[in-house]
Amino acid sequence: MSNPRQAINASDRSRAVKFRNQLAQELASVLPKDFEFKAYHLSTTPAATEALCYPPALKSSADPKNPAEAQSRDRRPSKPLKTYCEKHFLAVSVEAPKNGGQSKRSEVLVLGLEIYIYTTAFNTTIFVAKADSTGYLHLLNLPKGASSPIREVTAVFLKFLVTSRRRNSKQLVVNLFARAQSQYLFPGSVKNSGKHVLDDRRLIKWWCRVLNPLVENDATTRKKQETWNRVHGYLIIPGLDNYETRAFLPRSSFNWTFDHPLEHISLYTKDASTFDREIPARCLIPTYPDDPKARFVQELEDSTSEKAKLVGGWKSPRTLEQFWEMMAFRQECSSGRMTGFIWVVFDPESTTTAPGGSASNERSSAAFMSTPNASFCAPAVETACPSTPVMSQHDIVSLVTPTSTPSKPATAAPGNQSRKQPTKKVLTGRILPRKPQIKRKHRTKFPKQIETPHYYWPEEGRGQVVLNESGYNRAIELLLHLDFGTLEQAVTSTARWTNEVNMSQDWALNVIGCREITSQPPSSSAGTVNNLSAMTRRKRPVAEASAGSSPAPVNVLGSGLVRKKAKLEAGDNPSTPATGGMPRSTDTEPRVNVLGAGLVRKKAKPC
């Protein structure tokens, strides 16, 4: 079996290299100048997965004048949206110092990002699953006060995925769940003293600053957002009101709403001809892996009967507002730390569709998938396609019959009704052992089509290494079993992970930073000096004051307001206070204070 990557022609390969160089250029534009980095971009093929939202029931055909009949009639659920998932992982490393006589150049990972891309016939969702750092970025010895490039690298990679996964007239959503934790992807990295673990408040602010350039239409992102009709951000922090949530956004941000966009990004709310006008809350909440919303939704699903789900959804909560109110008292949201849910919605130029347009598109795409002549099969699936025709009983019998020994029509022997069993062929001759073949490349099954009604998988948006679902899970599982506690362990773990992912072949993307290093982040008021000369009152010179009016008179206290201390005469005791006109005592011995008789209380004698 040949490598499917060889089937890609030269033009597609050159275009892929061009866009990978574009990723390297974008990373270099935000990394410190004259510093060398290595980026490892790992991705998977689009694989069919479960739908993010539960499908609602189809619109009832009962008489609307009789609502009791509509509620009692059995309603059947609709078909879930066909969903595909593509996973991306980006790792960035820096050069590690050499130990002793070590001649080979070593490196250590400093950043890891794991992102899932869910695609349907209606929209594309980019979900940030995990983000973590090792804390070894201090090996670069950047100037004190210089900004960390981790935030810029994260923002650039998200922009790259948004640009490469844009589809015409398809909505795109960037979503993440911010939760403070000591380590996510690099075990033992919390032991490193150089790692700065953000608390809950600073982590939410950090992610808002990362996503804010995607929302604001500034000069750097206008070219990438000129095809979008509207870009808007949404932020929810369970347990906080709008006034308290506003403090987590940058001061320059304005395209943000302190609410959720679940109704805006759902297909079911836009197709009133197929579904009811009031969609249950259970059908509007997406469920991602390792998400507190997904765990809460699963508990509500287990406690509700199937008939009740189709009629009106959960008994409680009934609306999305009630759901978010209850989320403030659930698991991570009620553990004493703040958690944030952030969305960035990219609306295409034409978001309005005709009634039933989206559903008809979904049905037409489903019909395309079921056509026997369609040259498409689900990727990473070794079984036959759904379009394979049903085999007859004769075909099944012919498949079971061994091909090595052709069977003859069974004839009944005289006096014996049992059939003659075919004899097994006995192998004879010399046994020639085969040499073991070392697996040098990953044999990932690539889909035959790059663009379908359900997903878009361009060549320029793939990683340096493309694996299937099982290969990607092994790579991430290997990373989670390594140790990054000390620098020596981190260097060893980095070398093992980079070698085993691509079978000891070099797949690094070399990047040299081009950004000037500044001791403090630039501000909008840079270059302007505040002049306070008009607000400062200076003291008048002495010559000018003498030339003018006479100086103000000096206040002199009268003789009757000054009390002088009485002088001590010879033989007076200095410890004795002076008294007004009373004659002083001439005794040289100190006087003893004797209490009066009225001030002494004698103890009563017992009777």
Peptide bond connecting 317 to the previous residue in cis, omega within 30 degrees of 0: yes
Q: Which ranges in 487-541 belong to alpha helices (H)?
A: 487-501
Residues shown for the chain: 607
What single-letter DSSP state applies at residue 6?
Answer: G
The C-alpha atoms of residue 207 and residue 134 are separated, in whole angstroms, by: 18
User: Which residue among the candidates 199, 291, 506, 572 is catalytic per the annotation?
Assistant: 291
Angle at CA 176, nearest 5°, toward 203 and 317?
110
Are the beta carbons of 454 and 121 closer than 8 angstroms?
Answer: yes
- DSSP H or E segment with residue 49: strand 47-49
CA nearest to 263, candidates 241, 242, 245, 285: 285
Contacts of 372 (CB under 8 A, 6+ apart): 387, 389
With CA atoms as reference, report the closest residue to 279 among 64, 54, 50.
54
**Contacts of the segment 264-271: beta carbons below 8 A, 24+ positions apart:** 264/345, 265/123, 265/171, 265/173, 265/343, 265/345, 266/53, 267/81, 267/120, 267/122, 267/123, 267/358, 267/359, 268/53, 268/55, 268/56, 270/353, 270/358, 271/355, 271/356, 271/357, 271/358, 271/359
CA–CA dist 594, 591 (Å, integer):
9
Known active-site residue 291: yes
Which three-class secondary structure state does DSSP give residue 258? coil
Q: Which residues are catalytic?
A: 291
